[in-house]
């Protein structure tokens, strides 16, 4: 058997990614808080594919539980994919530090806590892959979401260093930077159709990039060029804009 560990498995992107990996013959550990809510999903996947799906409880903010969480996986995974994230409310986070901290800790600190443990194991085994979903929001700070964006930027920088560290151990580290994706997180937002991906598209991009040993991807791919342009705008001009 060959397990992939998916963290934040209740997310729409994570579920689509789970289907993508199972379609290609992998077994799954699906990890989430209140993981029993995934029982229906797991049953459906098992019936269709006859593969093994195990549900495991994790709270990314409960750092002290992460070592035991990983130690308790009977068979260590071939790779880990994190879809954990919390957009939060920017305006609230500007004046209520507990909201800011929740955004930072969910998108960054918690993932670091868990990935440090998994990275040590993969480094010793000299195999494995580590994938995390960051965001284009981390490429440049904007007034509408800079606390979330800065947490995602920190995550992308962490992954870059981890990639550099694990290169000699032949462990792949893939940073995924989605633009807009139609999920629970963006429900009710008025998103431009041409720039908005479906979770299934993101899942296919993740699978393809992981199999091809890529380092960083944008999804939809056009976001690489959108962000290139956005990053080129000089700061004196950017600070006056509302984009
Ligand atoms: N949708 C977009 O436009 C977009 C764009 C760029 C990047 N992203 C990133 O893509 C990833 C997936 O997002 P999504 O759009 O599918 O939204 P989502 O459904 O809100 O996914 C986020 C997942 O993180 C989980 N999570 C939050 N706090 C957690 C905690 N303390 N412990 C464990 N799990 C926790 C949530 O679990 P619960 O279900 O229990 O709340 C949820 O399943 C996130 O990292 C997000 O930041 C999304």
Residue 243 confidence (pLDDT) = 82
Residue whose entry in the numeric block shows the structure tokens 């981390």: 138
Domain that holds residue 21: 3-238
First to last CA, the chain: 47
Residue 165 is assigned to a structural domain of this protein? yes
Tell me the CA–centroid distance for residue 100 and ligand 1, in Å. Answer: 16
Q: Answer yes or no: is the C-beta of 83 below 6 A from any ligand 1 atom.
A: yes
Is residue 182 a part of any domain in this protein? yes
Q: Is residue 99 part of a domain?
A: yes
Q: Residue 132: give its domain's CATH number.
A: 3.40.50.720
- Residue in 14, 15, 185 to alter for ligand 1 test, most ligand atoms within 8 A of Cβ: 185
Structure tokens at 183: 């999920």
What is d(CA 75, CA 62) in angstroms, rounded to the nearest whole number? 22
Whether residue 135 is contained in a domain is answered as yes
Please tell me the pTM assigned to this model: 0.97
Q: What is the pLDDT of residue 218?
A: 98
- Copy the structure tokens of residue 6: 């998916």
Domain membership of residue 117 (yes or no) is: yes
Residue 243 domain flag: no
> What is the domain count for the chain?
1
Q: Is residue 156 part of a domain?
A: yes
Q: Is 218 in the pocket of ligand 1 (CB under 6 A)?
A: no
pLDDT digits (tens, 9 = 90+) for 175-229: 999 999 999 999 999 999 999 999 999 999 999 999 999 999 999 999 999 999 9
Contact 220, 195 (CB under 8 A): yes
122-151 pLDDT, tens digit per residue, is 999 999 999 999 999 999 999 999 999 999
pLDDT at 15 over 90: yes
Distance between CA atoms of 240 and 243, rounded to whole angstroms? 10
Which value, in Å, is the radius of gyration of the alpha carbons in the chain?
A: 18
Query: Would 50 be classed as within a structural domain?
Result: yes
């Amino acid at each position: 058997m060959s397990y992939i560990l998916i963290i934040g498995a209740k997310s729409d992107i994570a579920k689509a990614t789970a289907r993508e990996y199972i379609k290609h013959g992998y077994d799954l550990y699906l990890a989430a808080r209140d993981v029993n809510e995934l029982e229906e999903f797991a049953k459906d996947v098992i019936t269709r594919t006859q593969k093994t799906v195990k549900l495991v409880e994790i709270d990314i903010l409960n750092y002290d539980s992460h070592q035991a969480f990983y130690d308790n996986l009977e068979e260590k995974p071939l790779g880990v994919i994190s879809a954990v994230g919390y957009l939060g409310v920017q305006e609230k986070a500007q004046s209520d530090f507990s909201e800011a901290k929740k955004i930072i800790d969910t998108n960054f600190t918690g993932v670091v806590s868990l990935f440090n443990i998994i990275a040590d194991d993969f480094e010793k085994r000299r195999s494995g892959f580590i994938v995390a979903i960051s965001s284009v929001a981390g490429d440049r700070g904007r007034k509408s979401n800079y606390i979330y964006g800065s947490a995602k930027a920190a995550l992308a920088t962490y992954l870059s260093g981890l990639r550099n560290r694990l290169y000699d151990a032949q462990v792949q580290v893939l940073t995924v930077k989605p633009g807009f994706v139609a999920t629970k997180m963006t429900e009710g937002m008025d998103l431009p159709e041409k720039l908005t991906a479906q979770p299934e598209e993101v899942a296919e991009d993740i699978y393809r990039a992981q199999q091809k040993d890529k380092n960083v991807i944008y999804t939809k791919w056009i976001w690489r060029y959108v962000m290139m342009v956005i990053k080129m705008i000089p700061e004196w001009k950017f600070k006056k804009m509302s984009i």
